[in-house]
């Protein structure tokens, strides 16, 4: 009874993201009442194992007591304050703690409110870095095949998945999309970690042709989540870092999905033993508790 009521009211009001609403007629949404640890409890009285970690965000369990207590304490002290010319202790403490564990050189923190918006900030930061250092002609971005970086217009422009971007192509920036990187169906007939990263030739060609008009290349490190959890060799990232340095192109490391231990290292780019110029993090950062993200950069970019 209760379940049917909430299902019907959902159908009446809610337009859900990243799904075809027509499917709702056959598969109505599961309305969740409460949650604990790895389990969700529906208004239908059923228990669900949250095997997608509520879209890869929930790293520390639902209704984690330690986090809940900290949130309740914080909301009684300070719930929000303007961040221009004002600051607050939790933001400063977060930066202090993260700097200790981030890849080397990442020391300047900008705060945003979801994954897509910190990707937007990273793109603008890269563009402005070149603008301020005498290269306003660097207006384009490079990205990997089947990349996913979010749903806002800039983030969608550095995405290569037609599934999300196709109908919006007329609105998007003209970026450079590599091809060939696909370890599952390797076009060179090789297997991952037993190859010479032959697919990197596409990146080399792109840098030769467009390196001087490019502000930054953006990557999901090691693991391309939305593409279907596609994993690629760390060597690809090492080669890319070298090429970026050669051509003066910045490297943006989108750790929104892979960060905070999802690949066995705290940040996935550590597998390649390199540091990016800008690192984006969101999902695991708050474990789904808050809409928050960070675009973190180096003193070099900040100083410009």
Site for ligand PLP, rule CB under 6 A: 114-116, 119, 148-151, 220, 225-226, 254, 256-257, 282-283
Question: Is-contact 304 133, C-beta < 8 A?
Answer: yes
Considering only CA atoms, which of 180, 142, 139, 171 is closest in space to residue 159? 142
CB 228 → ligand PLP: shortest distance, Å?
A: 12
Q: Which of 119/195 has CB closer to ligand PLP? A: 119
CB 292 → ligand PLP: shortest distance, Å?
A: 10
CB 152 → ligand PLP: shortest distance, Å?
A: 7
CB 117 → ligand PLP: shortest distance, Å?
A: 7
CB 55 → ligand PLP: shortest distance, Å?
A: 7
Considering only CA atoms, which of 121, 102, 103 is closest in space to residue 112? 121
Q: Which of 42/225 has CB closer to ligand PLP? A: 225
CB 69 → ligand PLP: shortest distance, Å?
A: 25
CB 262 → ligand PLP: shortest distance, Å?
A: 10
Q: Which of 60/304 has CB closer to ligand PLP? A: 60
Question: Is-contact 261 281, C-beta < 8 A?
Answer: no
Other CB atoms closer than 10 Å to residue 239's CB: what's the count? 16
> Is residue 299 classed exposed, middle or buried when 0-12, 13-18 and 19+ CB atoms within 10 A define those classes?
exposed
Q: Which of 54/64 has CB closer to ligand PLP? A: 54
Considering only CA atoms, which of 284, 257, 235, 244 is closest in space to residue 148? 257
Q: Which of 118/195 has CB closer to ligand PLP? A: 118
Euclidean distance between CA atoms 58 and 37, whole angstroms? 9
Q: Which of 50/151 has CB closer to ligand PLP? A: 151
Say which DSSP state 30 is in.
-
Give the nearest residue (CB) to ligand PLP: 115
CB 114 → ligand PLP: shortest distance, Å?
A: 4
Say which DSSP state 136 is in.
T
Considering only CA atoms, which of 288, 300, 304 is closest in space to residue 114? 288
Q: Which of 175/282 has CB closer to ligand PLP? A: 282
224 φ, ψ to 5°? -95, 100
Token couple for 68: 């809940």
Q: Which of 220/270 has CB closer to ligand PLP? A: 220
Euclidean distance between CA atoms 35 and 53, whole angstroms? 12
Q: Where are the alpha helices (DSSP H) in 133-228?
A: 153-157, 162-165, 201-210
């Amino acid at each position: 009874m209760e379940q049917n009521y909430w299902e019907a009211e959902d159908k009446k009001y809610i337009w859900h993201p990243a799904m075809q609403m027509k499917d709702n007629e056959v598969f109505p949404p599961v309305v969740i009442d409460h949650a604990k640890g790895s389990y969700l409890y529906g208004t239908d009285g059923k228990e669900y194992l949250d095997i997608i970690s509520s879209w890869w965000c929930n790293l520390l369990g639902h209704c984690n007591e330690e986090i809940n207590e900290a949130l309740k304490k914080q909301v009684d002290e300070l719930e929000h304050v303007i961040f221009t010319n004002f600051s607050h202790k939790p933001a400063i403490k977060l930066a202090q703690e993260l700097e200790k564990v981030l890849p080397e050189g990442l020391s300047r923190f900008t705060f945003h409110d979801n994954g897509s918006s910190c990707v937007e900030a990273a793109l603008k930061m890269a563009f402005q870095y070149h603008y301020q250092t005498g290269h306003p002609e660097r207006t384009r971005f490079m990205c990997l095949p089947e990349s996913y970086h979010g749903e806002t217009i800039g983030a969608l422009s550095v995405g290569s998945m037609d599934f999300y971007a196709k109908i919006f192509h007329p609105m998007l920036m003209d970026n450079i999309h590599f091809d060939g990187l696909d370890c599952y169906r390797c076009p060179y007939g090789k297997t991952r970690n037993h190859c010479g990263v032959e697919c990197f030739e596409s990146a080399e060609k792109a840098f030769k042709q467009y390196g001087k008009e490019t502000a930054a290349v953006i990557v999901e490190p090691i693991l391309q989540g939305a593409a279907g959890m596609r994993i690629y060799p760390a060597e690809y990232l090492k080669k890319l870092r070298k090429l970026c340095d050669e051509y003066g192109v910045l490297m943006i490391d989108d750790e929104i999905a892979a960060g905070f231990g999802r690949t066995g290292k705290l940040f996935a780019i550590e597998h390649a033993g390199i540091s990016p110029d800008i690192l984006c993090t969101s999902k695991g950062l708050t474990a789904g508790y808050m809409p928050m993200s960070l675009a973190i950069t180096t003193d070099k970019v900040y100083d410009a």
